[in-house]
Amino acid sequence: MTIELIPVPDLGGADKVEVIEVCVAVGDVVEEEQSLVVLETDKASMEIPCPSAGTIVALKVNEGDTIGEGDIIVELEVAGAGAVAEVAAEPEAVTEPEPATEAPAAPSPVSKVALSELLVPVPDLGGSDSVEIIEVCVAVGDDIAEGDSLIVLETDKASMEIPAPVGGKVLDVKVAEGAKVSEGDAIVILQVDVSAASERTEEVVSASESAVQETSNKSAPAATSESPKVDPASAQATAKGDSAYAGPSVRKLARQLGVDLSGVTASGPRNRFTKDDVRNYVKQVVEDATSGKLSSGAGIPKIPEVDFSRFGDIELVKMTKIKKITAENMSRSWLNVPHVTQFDDADITELEVFRKSMKAEAEKRGVKLTPLPFLLKAAAAALRHEPTFNVSLHADGEHMVQKNYVHIGIAVDTPAGLMVPVIRDVDKKGLWELAEETATIAKKSRDGKLMPRDMQGGCFTISSLGAMGGNGFTPIVNAPEVAIMGVSKAQMKPIWNGSDFEPRNMLPLSISYDHRAVNGADAGRFFTYLVAVIGDIRRLLL
Ligand code: CAO
């Protein structure tokens, strides 16, 4: 086994570039050519592939780091011996999608002069003559990299960026916005460090052998016969038509700020996005969100503040901590969870007969047997029967957490606010035990004696308003649980038994569930089973 240090390869003129993605982690087994990191310049992003297969033993860069040629990216353990740093592969440029017309692929013609000064002329424009410059992207003194846009031209068919054929310092800009240029006209004079130039620079420079053009008092500038061709047909095919166009630096800014350009209005010449368009969009979104104005999906409009004292006598009552926490939890759940609520009535006629028959024994035991322990038992049975309800969504967005335990929370109304203590292993407990535990935990809640652990780990919640009344309500899911049952007041109702209306004691129930985690069919099965168990509690024994 050999440890190889994998460095940043020659970046083709780019000096320091940002690491925008680290694609591997320590311990990863990587293939030859597998991407290690993604680097980004103003113009393009490039993946640095691994020169050989092996195991990553150390990671030397982080996302957001700025690195340059020769900096070590990873330490790689490879089988057998091998050359190290120098073998790193050439970067694989993954240029951002650009209109095909904007960046001619072949090197632009340049002229080589004695003091490494290069005149960069307008390349072959595919037949177009006297084309308007709609943007000059560089200024005197700029250090630019190979491929950086120098100017943007626009014909009646498309706009195109003319990239720098090599990196260097801008000594002179020969053009201005609005001017019209043709093939061969000078764009800029670049100072190039030929000694440190990349192979591509050498290629470009040595390819420039003909069509000499004078530049100041320096010698023999030349324009190449291998000028890039802009194919007007493809230009037309890929031009954005009516839609606005953004240059690489604008797109980079948009990416950094998380802005989708489809929502931005372009204000630049001929429907081009400017950096200010992106900044103004962000400013507007922030302003709208804070002022409560509705904008395209950003922010929730605030309920306007009202001075109620204008309408009558008022007093300010301090919210308890629990009320504030409840308010936050409820809004979080309401805003995050797509709720569906389903309703049904359970026939508790037999259940009530049985419950009342146990009254004397309950008194002897010192407990009160309300319908709640029966509901807890039935819910636990339904969660076991239909485990698709006994889940939570995993934060990674890729998994569900299937729970193999059955802990159920009960909503308890207390003077300090709503609390939801959790009864553990409901499926394993009997009705008496549940009746006792419910009473104990409800008292603990009202006395403010619950510990955080008493309120954690619930799989499902029951909110019973049955003692108070009501025909039904839509409870809010107690996230990260995915379902909650609302219990309303049981009432005698005439139920058709096939030949007669029969008085039956009917308990209105509702189930709200998180439709991201549970689908309607699962909910239908869960609820039908639960209602059936409540209707005939002998089913709990099955
Ligand atoms: N239909 C008809 N009567 C019902 C009933 C129902 N669905 N549920 C309970 N009752 C009856 C009980 O049998 C009892 O009657 P008796 O005194 O005649 O026996 C009476 O109502 C009072 O019951 P209870 O409230 O003392 O006991 P419980 O087990 O039903 O409930 C608890 C316990 C802690 C859940 C309850 O006290 C409570 O706090 N409920 C409020 C929950 C809440 O606030 N939910 C809303 C959350 S969302 O904002």
Q: Is the CB of 490 under 6 A from ligand 1?
A: yes
| 462 CA distance to ligand 1 middle (Å) | 11
In this structure, what are the phi and psi dihedrals at residue 24, rounded to the nearest 5 degrees? Answer: -130, 165
pLDDT at 379: 98
- Report whether residue 534 contacts ligand 1, using a CB cutoff of 6 Å: no
Smallest CA separation from ligand 1 atom 34, residue: 412
Q: What's the pLDDT score for residue 149?
A: 85
489 within ligand 1 shell (Cβ under 6 A): yes
Spatial separation of the C-alpha atoms in residues 22 and 8, rounded to whole Å? 13
Pocket test for ligand 1, best of 345, 367, 372, 418 (most atoms within 8 A of CB): 372
| Token pair listed for 164 | 């720098």
CA of 468 to the centre of ligand 1 (A): 7
Report whether 278 contacts 257 (CB < 8 A): yes
Question: What is the Å distance from ligand 1's center to 53 Cα?
Answer: 66
467 C-alpha vs ligand 1 centroid, how far in Å?
4
Residues with catalytic annotation?
A: 515
**466 within ligand 1 shell (Cβ under 6 A):** yes
> What percent of the chain is helix, strand and coil (3-state, nearest 5)?
25, 25, 45
* pTM passes above 0.85: no
Whether 370 is in the pocket of ligand 1, judged by its Cβ within 6 Å, is yes
Q: Would you say the CB of residue 463 lies under 6 angstroms from ligand 1?
A: yes
208 lines ligand 1 (CB under 6 A): no
| Per-residue confidence in pLDDT tens, the chain, 542 aa | 788 889 988 876 777 888 888 888 999 999 888 889 888 766 666 778 888 899 999 999 998 889 988 899 999 998 754 333 333 334 434 344 343 333 333 334 443 344 477 888 888 887 778 888 888 888 898 888 888 889 888 776 667 788 888 888 899 999 998 899 988 899 999 888 765 545 555 554 444 433 333 333 333 333 333 333 333 333 322 233 346 777 767 887 888 898 988 889 888 766 778 888 999 999 988 877 666 555 455 567 888 899 999 999 999 999 998 999 999 999 999 999 999 999 999 999 999 999 999 999 999 999 999 999 999 999 999 999 999 999 999 999 999 999 999 999 999 999 999 999 999 999 999 999 999 999 999 999 999 999 989 999 999 999 999 999 999 999 999 999 999 999 999 999 999 999 999 999 999 999 999 999 999 999 999 999 999 999 999 998 87
Tell whether ligand 1 has an atom less than 6 A from the beta carbon of residue 423: no
Instruction: Tell which atom from ligand 1 comes closest to the C-alpha of 490.
Output: 1
Question: Burial letters for 315-345: b for 16+ Cβ neighbours within 10 Å, e otherwise?
Answer: eeeeeeebeeebeeeeeebeeebebbbbebb
- Closest-CA residue, ligand 1 atom 8, reads 466
Tell me the C-alpha distance between 258 and 280, whole Å: 13
- Return the bridge partners of 63, or none: none
**Ligand 1 centroid, distance to 433 Cα (angstroms):** 17
Q: Which atom of ligand 1 is closest in space to residue 445's alpha carbon?
A: 34
Q: What is the DSSP letter of 304?
A: P
| Phi, psi (degrees; rounded to nearest 5) at 152 | -120, 130
Of all protein residues, the one whose alpha carbon is nearest to atom 23 of ligand 1 is 467
Distance of CA 454 from the midpoint of ligand 1 (Å): 20
> What pLDDT sits at residue 216?
34
Domains of the chain: 2-78 (2.40.50.100), 115-223 (2.40.50.100), 248-291 (4.10.320.10), 323-327+337-541 (3.30.559.10)
Distance 464 CA to ligand 1 centre (A): 6
Q: Whose CA is nearest to atom 46 of ligand 1?
A: 463
Closest C-alpha to 348, from 374, 377, 368, 373: 374
Neighbours of 99 (CB within 10 A): 17
Cis status of the peptide bond prior to 480, with omega within 30 of 0: yes
Rounded to 5 degrees, what are φ and ψ at 523?
A: -65, -40
Please work out whether the CB of residue 465 comes within 6 Å of at least one atom of ligand 1: yes
Q: Ligand 1 centroid vs 90 CA: distance in angstroms?
A: 72
Count the neighbouring beta carbons within 10 Å of the beta carbon of residue 4.
22
Mutate to test the pocket of ligand 1, among 370, 438, 455 (most ligand atoms within 8 A of CB): 370
Residue type (1 letter), 101? T
Q: Best mutation site among 333, 420, 464, 509 for ligand 1, i.e. most ligand atoms within 8 A of its Cβ?
A: 464
SS3 of residue 420 by DSSP: coil
Distance CA(332)–CA(28), nearest Å, equals: 37
Q: Which residue, chain included where needed, has tokens 């800029």?
A: 188
